[in-house]
Amino acid sequence: MTDQIHVPVMLERCIELLAPALERDGAVFVDGTLGMGGHSAALLERFPGLRLIGIDRDTDAIAIARERLAPFGDRVTLVHAVSDRLEEILDGLGVESVDGILYDLGVSSLQLDRAERGFSYSQDAPLDMRMDASSDRTAAAILATYSEGELRRIFYEYGDEKLAPRFASRIVQRREERPLTTSAELVELIAAATPAAAQRAGHPAKRVFQALRIEVNQELAVLERTIPAALDSLAVGGRIVVLSYQSLEDRIVKRALQARSSSTAPAGLPVELPQHRPEFSLLVRGAELATEEEKARNPRSAPVRLRAAERIRRAA
Residues tagged in the binding site annotation for S-adenosyl-L-methionine? 37-39, 56, 104, 111
Q: Which distant-in-sequence residues (6+ apart) come within 8 Å of 265 by Cβ?
A: 272, 273, 276
CA torsion sign for 55, 60, 65, 66 is positive
Is 100 strand, coil or helix? strand
Residues annotated within the binding site are: 37-39, 56, 104, 111
Q: How far apart are CA 244 and CA 212, in angstroms?
A: 18
Q: How far apart are CA 79 and CA 56, in angstroms?
A: 7
**Sheet with strand 28-31: strands edge to edge:** 76-80, 51-56, 28-31, 98-104, 234-244, 305-311, 280-282
**DSSP letter at 30?**
E
Residue 276: strand pairing partners: none
